[in-house]
Every structure is written in C-alpha cells, then in structure tokens.
Amino acid sequence: MKEAIVLYPAATSHQMISMVELAKLILQHHPNISITILVAMMPFDTSTIPARISSISQTSLPISFLSLPPPSENPPGPAAAATLGKAAFDYIRLYTPKVLDVLKAISLTSTVLAFIISTFGITYDTLIPTYLYFTSGASSFASILYLPTIHNQTTKSFKDLPNNTPLHFPGLPPIKPSHLPEPLLDRDHPAYQEFFSLGTLLPNLKGMILNTFDMLEPQAIKAITEGACVPKGSTPPLYCIGPRIVDAKQRGVSDDALSKCLLWLDKQPSQSVVFLCFGRKGAFSAPQLKEIAFGLERSKQRFMWVVRNPPPNSDTEPDLEELMPEGFLERTKERGLVLKSWAPQAAILSHQAVGGFVTHCGWNSVLEAVTYGVPMLPWPLYAEQKLNSVVLAEEIKLTPMPILTEDGKGGVVSSEEVERKVRELMGLEGKRFRESSSMMKIMAMAAWTNGGSSFTALSKLVASWKQEQS
C-alpha cells in the first residue's frame, strides 16, 4: 500500500496555513508519500480556508483536502460557551467520531505513517502514531506543559495573585501573572481545563513538532526536552523544525495590494521605515489610535501603519479621516503611509527600506521578523503575545521591553511613550537590537542548512516514521 500522512488543523485558518506549510516541508524530505489534510469547518475564523484550499489544489503537490461532514448535533455557540477558545474545543470534540471514521477509511488503502494534530487536550483512540504540531513557540509550549505543576503550588487563580508575584516556568524568565494568556488567569475559566489537560495527552503522542529553532529559544527547548516541564511524567521526543513562514504570494496577496506597498517602500532610504502591524485581530480603541498617530508624527520617523477599525467593528473597513487626528494624513503624507485593515506583512518585512517593526508578537509575526532580520518593538495585545514579548526582551535579548496597554492611563498608552519607543528603536539606542536581529537572521538560515538543527530534526522525524514500518 502507498504511504500517507494525515494532518488535522482543527479550529482556525491560522492552523490551516501552518499545516499546509508543514505538509510542503515533509514533501521536500519524503516526496513519495501522499498527504491528506482534514478540513473541519468551524463557525469562526475559517472564512479564508476555501480560497487557500483552492490555491493549493491547483498545484502539482500531492496534497489532498478532505472535508469532514458536519456534526449531527449542534454544539453551544461562542456566547453559550463563554469564550471562543472553549467553543473551539467543543466543536472539535464533536468532529472526533468523523475524524476516526476517516482515519479508518484511509488506512484501508494506505499505510498511514503519522497522524498530526494541532489541538491539544483532545485524544484520538487510534493505533496510528499521533504527533502534536504546536504552532506557537517553545516558551509558550513550556508554560502550558508546566501548568499542572504550577497549578498545584497554589489554591488561587493567577489573576488573584499580586501582579508582582513571579511565576517560575522552566526555561522562561520570571513571568508576571498578567503576562499569561487570559484563559490561564482564572482556573474557573471555561478554557482553563483545556490547557490543563495537555499533560493527559502526552502519553498518547509519538512526538511534538514546534515551529521554532534551537538558537531562538534554547532555554525553553532544553527545559522541554529534559523533561523539566513535566516533572512527574514522560515527555515525547521534540522536533523543532522552524522557522516556517508564508510569503505574500503563497498567502494569495493581490498584485495591487503588493504593488502599492512595495512602490512606496522603493522610494524610502534603506532601513528608514518603521512598520506597525498588529495582526488580523489587533484592533485599538479610537483614543489609542489618535495617541499612536500623534506619537508617530512627533517621532519624525518614516512609517507604514496598518489601521483596523476599533472594536466591535474591527472587521469593517476603517474611515481613516474620522479615526486619525485632524490633518494628520496630510501632514505626514510625505513620510508615512497608512493602510486600511491589512497589508502583505512578509513582503513588507523583507523590503530593505524597513528598519523596525512594531508588532503584537503573534508567533508568525515574530518568525517573519526573525527570518528577515528586522528589529522588533513588542506591543502585545492578546493570547500568548505578552509571554512572547517578555521572553524576547528578557531571555533572548532580541527586543526592547514591550509596550503594555495596561501600563497606560485608562488603558491608553500616551503619544509621548509611542514617540519615545519608536525613536529608540529606529535611532542609536536601537543599534544593539539591529545587530542582534541580524545575527538571529543568520542563525535562522543556518538552522535549515544541511546539518543545521531544524534540517536534522525533520530528518529524524521522517526517519522515525520509516523505522515504525520496518
């Protein structure tokens, strides 16, 4: 029978993108196998998946997509489940019988070498070797693995601890409670148990795959591989195969969108532009947008800034004239470009005119900045971004200390703070971060040379599949 691998990127379009990239990577080392990606359509964050499937299906890659039939029962919606995170787990569980049926069907005609999932906390009763692909960094993964241990060290939720209480996770610098993702702050939060239960999944895994590389997060990777994050259990083998990023063309970026940004950047001096972009969900209040605008204007720096509408209308196109301070767009038109809602981030970061990146520190954004050697100024907003930003600043020494919205008056960071931070990043004080970012770019490239850490990790992963069949 032919050899196959089944990938299951449950829940979000982000996980679908990451899984497709993993599939391409596997095919580079194992071109004779077939890959099937299971598609479970959720009622949230899946709108771009059909277009992505269509673009991959038009290539010659041996990747097929199999849409799972919808569950027969209706799960509670996001509102009833209290949070989107909990709702995602509820939906994924309802798909579990369908997933198992599909795996059995594929096994009748193929030898399934591996079943790779992207969601923890959910077990699949299958004899097929199962791997977890965690699409965030090793530091975030280490904190989740250690959660049951640190949970037992106190009877309080993290939110009820003084914020200056240092939390000690293996491989990480001391973390404040407020730096953890929101679901982890309250042990009564509906999604808390989902994160907590990762430890119960580990014994069922043949391995764990992370989109990072040894020289980026050495301490967190060491803590995981040595078992420090699961002191009372066993830790499966860890395979760090990053950095894997998606360029603008692979993301289906229109030529018009790409050309507008690149033509403007082509006119700017080398490393002179600070780029501000906060992800698909990164939206600020109207007062905060005005503070950012004033700060950029007073900084005198060239800038490219992606602006989304304030919540709750952040998915609609913003009216820049209404959101920006009066006259701002006219006064800064010679040295600034404000874009509505979205921009081809990877293409922008790869341009020689970009010299700094104000980012929310989503893991994909971090990897793109690292890959292109662009120094970052962290401004984390949600999920694991605060933890990422602290690790980047205090452990890896790759960035200045982050801008934190809660440190601002009334939750708004002042224009003076924005101006100061941007000047520091782009000026003489940012020299050490430019140097460290350039060095990390070289290390990222080295990870994928023959014999590099990520090259070797993927080779070992593929070899383990072959050994299972021998």
* pLDDT confidence band for 82 (50 / 70 / 90): very low
Judgement on whether residues 213 and 326 belong to the same structural domain of the protein: no
Q: What is the pLDDT of residues 375-409, one digit of tens each?
A: 999 999 999 999 999 999 999 999 999 998 876 66
Q: CA torsion angle for 366, 367, 368, 371 (degrees, to 10)?
A: 130
Sheet strands (E) in 234-291: 238-240, 273-277
What pTM does this model have?
0.94
> Is residue 75 predicted with pLDDT exceeding 60?
no
Total domains in the chain come to: 2
Judgement on whether residues 101 and 219 belong to the same structural domain of the protein: yes
* pLDDT confidence band for 197 (50 / 70 / 90): confident
84-88, 92-96, 143-147: segment of lowest average pLDDT:
84-88
Judgement on whether residues 455 and 349 belong to the same structural domain of the protein: no
Mean pLDDT of the chain: 90
| Domain range enclosing 427 | 255-444
Count of C-beta atoms within a 10 Å radius of residue 166: 10
How high is the pLDDT of residue 58?
A: 65
Judgement on whether residues 144 and 273 belong to the same structural domain of the protein: no
Vertex 25 angle, CA 24 and 28, to 5°: 90
Judgement on whether residues 435 and 459 belong to the same structural domain of the protein: no
68-77, 180-189, 440-449: segment of lowest average pLDDT:
68-77
Vertex 450 angle, CA 372 and 22, to 5°: 60
The gap from C-alpha 221 to its chain's centroid, in whole angstroms, comes to 17
How high is the pLDDT of residue 53?
A: 72
29-38, 135-144, 262-271: segment of lowest average pLDDT:
29-38
CATH number at residue 430: 3.40.50.2000
Count of C-beta atoms within a 10 Å radius of residue 461: 21
Judgement on whether residues 353 and 383 belong to the same structural domain of the protein: yes
> Is residue 45 predicted with pLDDT exceeding 70?
no
Judgement on whether residues 169 and 305 belong to the same structural domain of the protein: no
Q: Which residues contact 63 (CB under 8 A, 6 or more apart)?
A: 20, 23, 24, 27, 35, 36, 37, 56
Count of C-beta atoms within a 10 Å radius of residue 202: 17
